[in-house]
A and B are shown apart, each in its own frame.
Chain A
């Protein structure tokens, strides 16, 4: 009776779980399997030839892939770093009770709600060398236009990403700030902390758990970004903005090397897994700390 009771929920969950597993694991398995084969889109997977780790080793040594990986890392790092600084900075600035503040906050999170393709198109027009908004402004104040999507392409796509995703960090940071213990902040003011010291010694350390998780979420996202860059630069000029996601799609579609593309996806997957595991490890560590603290108190009764 009891055992049956305990099993019932699993029984009900089973169909959903089975569909999930198939939907999730089948494509994944397909990709992993394909990455060990010499595979072009004209072939069925079963007709392909097994090549072992050749695709992986080939990629490891391929300059273009390495460059693309470098671009991705640079892109992700600069995006997340600036988004953190701007998002947290704005949150610290706007964490106060003023009239109209709620409207301002709503406006701030608008960019996040726009579809990435639209964002890409919008920025592409603004970056246009002759008729784009930026260069027209620059000319108006007598400065030479900047070759936004040419020589400065990576910087330009990073700016667009920052524009779109800073609000995400901003709202999470603001929520974290507003849930800080108010009396601890007051105690710090009485203890002699200046506004800067308050931020540095109290607010930031207390927000840190939220910020770390936010940063990891953003990193994971930044590694997978595709549409905005595809629309803005298509990876160019040269390979200067060709992030891994873009290279994967080109390898598959243009070069017709499905096996290599699959191997590349797996490299990216491994990178993302490391980040995700890092994030889970971090939250788990926090939980462990909390339970240990509770236990200590209980023992002392």
Chain B
């Protein structure tokens, strides 16, 4: 139960600044996921919270107490590393109990705690094995158990699942979600996998190039991305972007571009009336389009279907809209003929508009 706050956190390596003033507020017991492309500074942020990297400027507060001058051991936190970081010379039980043994807790208490967490992560049969004698998934569990045994108030994860194969990763992700509900703690989780971020997070923080791009609940980020980067990063397959111009038409304000013309709903037209003839980027998610040959003028796209990727119940169609490639997700039973021009309809609510140069959202589907 503690509240973590990062205030203007900056990190410099020599003259290179890799984090440019991170401000972040995490509520007690919140599961926060830092997500972003490789090299954006997620690990650096996490390691600064852990005390493994020094803070160049700014401050980290835990329950309003500055902690950036403290050693890792004085910060009351546990961490799971990407490569698990187990102690190779200790068996599983001793790995799990290392922190407790350092604290000189009574033997009986340590034994009980080891049994409890080993049970929680399903390691009871492996307590006397060395890490070298375990599979990747089992090692991952040991790392988790070791963190759990410490009973710290803050949990840090640095891409804990990225070394597992796809199936195991899915399974561990589900277990982790379950565990995080049982063990309510402050959790900060770093990943570059947006599915992990979406499924686990109470709050997602999208980072890029040492800046926070946006933070919010998974739903907020999905429905109302603050800029083009977040829109393209969250959601899979990623959002389609089309460049166009805002134009006045008899039916209202519309976005016109290479091979498409979409009429904006009346409320959006009101918001944007003053910016007619402005250059704009239109964003629309692949799942927000439906195959609909009857879609009216201004509410659909004529797409040239090039490839259909069957992924089970859904198929992903790779198409061309004018000269821009465009993805559509449809139910697999939709009758699609490759190489033909087909019409797909979309709801006005599904449209996102971004400023073409700054990438900032100028219209999100904030109206229901």
Contact = CB atoms under 8 A, between A and B. Distances in A.
Interface of A: 181, 183-184, 186-194, 197, 201-202, 205-206, 208, 290, 292-293, 296-297, 300
Contacts of A300: 135
Contacts of A197: 102
A290 to B, nearest CB: 7
A191 B71 contact: no
A290 B131 CA distance: 11
Contacts of B273: none
A297 B135 contact: yes
Interface residues of B, number: 30
A3 B81 CA distance: 51
B79 A190 contact: yes
21 contacts: A183-B82, A183-B84, A186-B50, A186-B52, A186-B79, A188-B87, A189-B52, A189-B73, A190-B52, A191-B78, A191-B98, A191-B146, A192-B99, A193-B102, A194-B73, A197-B102, A201-B102, A208-B89, A290-B132, A293-B130, A296-B133
A202 B87 contact: yes
Contact of A181 (B51, B88, B102): B88
Given A186-B52, A290-B132, A191 B89 contact: no
A3 B150 CA distance: 61
B102 A297 contact: no
Contacts of B82: 183
Given A187-B87, A191-B150, A290-B132, 20 more contacts: A181-B85, A186-B72, A186-B79, A187-B79, A187-B81, A189-B52, A189-B72, A190-B77, A190-B79, A191-B73, A191-B78, A191-B99, A191-B102, A191-B146, A193-B102, A197-B102, A201-B102, A206-B88, A206-B89, A293-B130
B83 interface: yes
A190 B84 CA distance: 13
B83 A190 contact: no
A297 B146 CA distance: 21
Given A189-B52, A190-B79, A194-B73, A184 B132 contact: no
Contacts of A190: 50-52, 72-73, 77-79
Contacts of B78: 190-191
Decide if the interface of chain A is mainly helix, strand, loop or mixed.
helix
A192 B79 contact: no
Decide if the interface of chain B is mainly helix, strand, loop or mixed.
loop
The 3 nearest A-B residue pairs measured at CB: A183-B85, A191-B99, A187-B85
A184 to B, nearest CB: 5
Query: Which of A191, A202, A290 has the most chain B CB atoms inside 10 A of its CB?
Result: A191
A285 B134 CA distance: 19
A221 to B, nearest CB: 28
B35 to A, nearest CB: 21
B81 A186 contact: yes
Interface in B66-122: 71-73, 77-79, 81-89, 98-99, 102-103
Interface in B249-292: none
A186 B133 contact: no
